[in-house]
């Protein structure tokens, strides 16, 4: 399994990224009085009229920066149009606040440069923008296959983080819809300190063995909804990090990938609680994990994960379909002291059905110091699809109840 805890590492470098973004905003080219204004008549900035070329080879970074400067500086409804074609770009820092409401219409494809020396942090980073819309049928292609061999995070913890594809920092009342995120160098989408975000009808696509290519990661965010989205990647399809509240995940298909995860929790000091999480009407296909909550046994933070509800979930040969892992320790970098500071409580699983690729369809591996409480299972009917073993559940230090479940799984 890839080093999933790198999700928490990203939080550690966000302040640096934000500073870089702020400086980039100061240095970003202002809209030229003639060309940009003429190309943005009616509130629409067509990047091809600002010098962008859709041949997939010519660097179109400057045209996109100019379009952003004009759109963000305009009042009312503003649109950046990316027409059909393939547009190569380096890192893009789109920083607000903006005077009006900006829509980025992605009809064509943006291709990330494979020259890592160009990047200080991420590929496309959008910072402090309200009422942002990113929509269309085009692609954000991270061109990850060219650089995945530079990823050393499976071998060492203090590895160099490759650029994430789309990073939304401090974005309020935003929407991302219709687009495809393809082959990111690292995470496909990272949502940090955002409020009231809707991500819908999005496709994320990368091979199952691509390193650390999480589909959508979020942290310290409130009111995020992920709806009718298909995710195939090499790490967590969705990872819900510390400080996430009021999260709604509905109609998501995950696989390949490492499942829909809460955590990892407790890696750093001063992490905030995770609460009010709902995952409904989702399908997990051949993912290495299903519904997962993971926390470090030697957690550095005192925090709680609570009010978590899973309902109407279909497993199609998913590994570890239901797993609470309070002894999470990737690459053996933690101390197995058992002195967990993470509390998991009030977690419900309702109508979880299908097949498991592992005999352990349910694994509730809670801390002996702080047991999991209020865990309920109702209508959990997941069976091992293999023939060399039987369906089973492993429950340690978990307290709750089970009704209407396969008898093999009623371990509470």
Catalytic residue numbers, as ranges: 258
Structure letter (DSSP) for residue 290: S
* Alpha-carbon gap, residue 307 to 345, rounded angstroms: 7
Do residues 139 and 181 make contact, with C-beta atoms less than 8 angstroms apart?
Answer: yes
CA 403 to chain CA centroid, Å, is: 33
Do residues 294 and 4 make contact, with C-beta atoms less than 8 angstroms apart?
Answer: yes
Q: Half-sphere exposure (CA, 13 Å, Cβ side) for 152?
A: 6
* Alpha-carbon gap, residue 246 to 225, rounded angstroms: 9
CA dist 70 to 3, 63, 98, 124, 385, Å?
40, 11, 10, 17, 56
- Collapsing DSSP to helix, strand or coil, 366 comes out as coil
CA 314 to chain CA centroid, Å, is: 21
**Which of 207, 197, 209 lies closest to 217, judged by CA?**
197
Do residues 162 and 2 make contact, with C-beta atoms less than 8 angstroms apart?
Answer: no
Q: Half-sphere exposure (CA, 13 Å, Cβ side) for 315?
A: 32
- DSSP of 141-180: E--GGGTGGG--TTT-SSPPPPPPSEEEES-EEEEEES-E
* Alpha-carbon gap, residue 215 to 193, rounded angstroms: 18
Annotate 202-226 with b (16+ C-beta within 10 A) or e (fewer): bbbbbebebbbbbbbbbbbbbbbbb
């Amino acid at each position: 399994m890839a080093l999933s805890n790198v999700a928490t590492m990203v939080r550690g470098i966000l302040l640096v990224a934000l500073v870089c973004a702020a400086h980039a905003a100061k240095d970003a080219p202002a809209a030229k009085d003639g060309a940009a204004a003429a190309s943005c008549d009616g509130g629409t900035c067509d990047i091809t009229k600002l010098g962008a070329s859709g041949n997939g080879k010519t660097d179109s970074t400057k045209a996109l920066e100019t379009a952003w400067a004009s759109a963000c500086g305009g009042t009312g409804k503003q649109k950046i149009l990316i027409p059909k074609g393939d547009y190569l770009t380096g890192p893009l820092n789109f920083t607000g606040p903006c005077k009006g409401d900006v829509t980025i219409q992605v009809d064509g494809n943006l291709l990330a440069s494979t020259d890592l020396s160009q990047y200080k942090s991420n590929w496309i980073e959008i910072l402090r923008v309200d009422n942002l819309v990113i929509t269309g049928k085009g692609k954000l292609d991270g061109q990850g296959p060219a650089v995945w061999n530079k990823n050393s995070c499976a071998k060492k913890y203090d590895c160099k983080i490759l650029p994430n594809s789309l990073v939304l920092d401090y974005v309020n009342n935003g929407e991302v819809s219709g687009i495809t995120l393809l082959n990111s160098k690292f995470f496909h989408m990272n949502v940090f300190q955002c409020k009231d975000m809707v991500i819908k009808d999005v496709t994320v696509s990368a091979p199952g063995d691509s390193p650390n290519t999480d589909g959508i990661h979020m942290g310290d965010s409130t009111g995020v909804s992920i709806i009718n989205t298909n995710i195939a990647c090499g790490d967590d399809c969705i990872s819900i990090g510390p400080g996430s509240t009021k999260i709604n995940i509905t109609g998501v298909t995950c696989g390949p990938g490492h499942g829909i995860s809460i955590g990892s929790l407790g890696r750093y000091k001063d992490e905030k609680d995770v609460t009010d999480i709902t995952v409904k009407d989702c399908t997990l296909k051949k993912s290495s994990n299903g519904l997962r909550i993971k926390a470090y046994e030697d957690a550095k933070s005192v925090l709680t994960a609570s009010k978590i509800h899973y309902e109407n979930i279909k497993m199609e040969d998913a590994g570890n379909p239901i797993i609470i892992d309070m002894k999470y320790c990737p690459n053996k970098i933690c101390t197995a002291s058992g002195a967990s500071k993470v509390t998991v409580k009030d977690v419900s699983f309702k109508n979880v059905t299908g097949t498991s690729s592992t005999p352990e369809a349910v694994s509730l591996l809670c801390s002996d110091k702080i047991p999991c409480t209020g865990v309920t299972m109702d209508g959990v009917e997941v069976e091992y699809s293999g023939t060399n073993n039987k369906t089973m559940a492993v429950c340690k230090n978990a307290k709750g109840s089970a009704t209407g479940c396969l008898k093999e799984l009623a371990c509470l």
